[in-house]
Amino acid sequence: MATKKQAAKARKAATGASPYVQRLVEDPELRDNVRVAFENAKSAYGRLTNGKPATKVLDDKKMHKEMRKAAEALRDAGQALREGPKKKKRRGGFGKLLLLGIIGGGLAIAFSEGLRNKVLDTLFGAEEEFDYTSTTSPAPAPAGETVGTST
């Protein structure tokens, strides 16, 4: 594993280098493909040169698997170099900002009574205060009966 210092040195050295070297330094997926190809090719070469007869080596399924992985990783690395640097995907800045604003506004309205009343007044008009005052006078008590006495 490369340290941060080593990575910084490699970036500094690659600034004046070819675009392929710059891409190799900057793209972790490309570096990983090259590393996998190298490791599998090295392992397959070790199995090939272990002293077994050639017929047994050619029938070795593990070596075939390592060679296949190495070839796939090299193909992916070559394809990545031909395509050029990948464009960074946008993360939906305006959409996220809008969603965050709607959620924040909803929470503010839910938790603030003054703001909630102001919004409701704006949408539906100001609430009218209603004080009831009777225009009629209370009915007079019948004569002969007093309030509060019973017989």
Q: Which of 80, 91, 60 is nearest to 20 (CA)?
A: 80
Most confidently modeled of 16-30, 67-81, 137-151?
67-81
Q: State the DSSP code for 90.
A: P
Average pLDDT over residues 95-122: 89
Q: CA 109, CA 115: separation in Å to the nearest integer?
A: 6
Give the residue extent of every domain in the chain. Answer: 4-83
Residue-level pLDDT at 103: 93
- Give the type of residue at 99: L
Q: Which of 75, 77, 83, 85 is nearest to 23 (CA)?
A: 85
3, pLDDT greater than 80: no
Q: How many CB atoms are closer than 10 A to CB 135?
A: 4
Residue-level pLDDT at 104: 92
Average model confidence (pLDDT) for the chain? 78
More reliable by pLDDT, 5 or 129: 5
Q: CA 115, CA 108: separation in Å to the nearest integer?
A: 8
Residue-level pLDDT at 146: 60
What 3-state DSSP class applies to 132?
coil
Whether the CB-CB separation of 50 and 17 falls below 8 Å is answered with no
102, pLDDT greater than 90: yes
The 10s digit of each residue's pLDDT in 25-83 is 777 888 888 888 888 888 888 877 777 776 776 777 888 888 888 888 888 888 877 77
95, pLDDT greater than 80: yes
Average pLDDT over residues 129-149: 71
More reliable by pLDDT, 44 or 102: 102
Q: Which of 45, 36, 44, 22 is nearest to 76 (CA)?
A: 36
Q: CA 130, CA 88: separation in Å to the nearest integer?
A: 61
Is 0.85 topped by the overall pTM?
A: no
Residue-level pLDDT at 85: 63
